[in-house]
Structure 1
Amino acid sequence: MTHPILSWALPTALGMLVLAMVLALLRLLKGPSAQDRILALDFMYLTGMLLMLVLGILYGSSTYFEAALLIALFSFVGSTAMAKFLLRGEVIE
């Protein structure tokens, strides 16, 4: 971290992302419908990916960026499978 703004901005961003993930977890557990739960899980995927990106900037490691890429890939596949299951009742035809 060479810039003075990053010394307070990155920990603040991490705190906000953790708070967002906790609120999404509450929606995942309490959601009134399956669509709400799937949307909360998608949001948790997104915040997890952003958390990895912020950690990668904070620590200056490219490993976190690769983990964020994997989270994005798995979230797309998982969201597609869950949406197909909700529409048709089966994933594999």
Structure 2
Amino acid sequence: MSGFLFLAITVALACYVTAMALCFIRMIRGPASQDRILALDLICTLAMLIMLVLAINYRSAMYFEAALLIALFGFVGSAAMAKFLLRGEVIE
């Protein structure tokens, strides 16, 4: 692995972890439940991006599958929470 790629991966992971920490703070202190759901959705997206960067770093396909599962569960969770806020129930 070249030095530039190692530096880029390190910087990307540091940025993603910092963004995830800030979203976690927003999720805890959010003034409204919509802010908390949006922060949780962004945390799922950032977790998926971290898994993709780790897949590039370790050259493993298993990380891509894990990122796909995180994206799927994040979408379903966000849709369920939005429906709950809209109607007060998830299953009709």
TM-score category of the 2 structures, normalised to the smaller one: over 0.9
Report % sequence identity. 62
> Per-residue CA shift, 1:27-70, capped at 9, x if unaligned?
00000000000000000001000000000000111111100000
Q: Residue type of the partner of 1:4? A: G
Q: Matches of residues 5-84 of structure 1 in structure 2 within 5 Å? A: 5-84=4-83
- The list of structure 1 runs, each at least 4 consecutive aligned residues, that deviate by more than 2 angstroms after superposition, is none
- Measure, in 1, the Cα distance between the counterparts of 2:27 and 2:55: 27
Structure 1 residue ranges without an equivalent (≥5): none
Scaled by the length of structure 2, what TM-score is found? Answer: 0.97
Cα RMSD of the aligned pairs, angstroms, is 0.7
Q: What is the count of residue pairs matched by the alignment?
A: 92
How far does residue 5 in structure 1 lie from its aligned partner after superposition?
A: 1.8
